[in-house]
Amino acid sequence: MHEMSLAESVLQLIEDAARKDQFSKVTTVWLEIGQLSGVEPQAMAFCFDAVTRDSVAAGARLEIIELPGIGWCMACAKTVPMTEVFGECPSCGGYQMQVTGGTEMRVKELEIE
């Protein structure tokens, strides 16, 4: 489950920000996860709860914002929604797709005390 190492990385970002900006408690974390990122939102939420115990983010609410997969079809020259990285174009059925969005995962915002 790579979500555990991702959750640990998110916690490291939060702890770095806490040291830099001198806050002691995080109450909410907004996390953007792309549909094509390979990250399972429910697993990420579970792992986040586990790794944040006894930290500055202990008990913090995790708000996951799911971003859609987006791609550019080279065959029909259209930007189209994608549900899988190697899927077909929903417009023309071709497989000459270039992913342009939905692969990212990032901490968007922190609510602190």
Dump pLDDT digits (tens) for 60-100.
Answer: 999 999 999 999 999 999 999 999 999 999 999 999 999 99
What whole-number distance in Å separates Cα of residue 98 and Cα of residue 102?
12
Beta-strand pair 26-34/61-67? parallel
CB 35 within 8 A of CB 72: no
What whole-number distance in Å separates Cα of residue 69 and Cα of residue 88?
13
- Identify the three-state secondary structure at position 4: helix
Q: Which domains does the chain have, with CATH numbers?
A: 3-68+102-112 (3.30.2320.50)
The neighbouring-strand residues paired with 98 are: 72
What whole-number distance in Å separates Cα of residue 50 and Cα of residue 31?
16
Query: Each residue of 23-68: pLDDT tens digit?
Result: 999 999 999 999 999 999 999 999 999 999 999 999 999 999 999 9
What whole-number distance in Å separates Cα of residue 113 and Cα of residue 99?
38
Give pTM, 2 decimals.
0.88
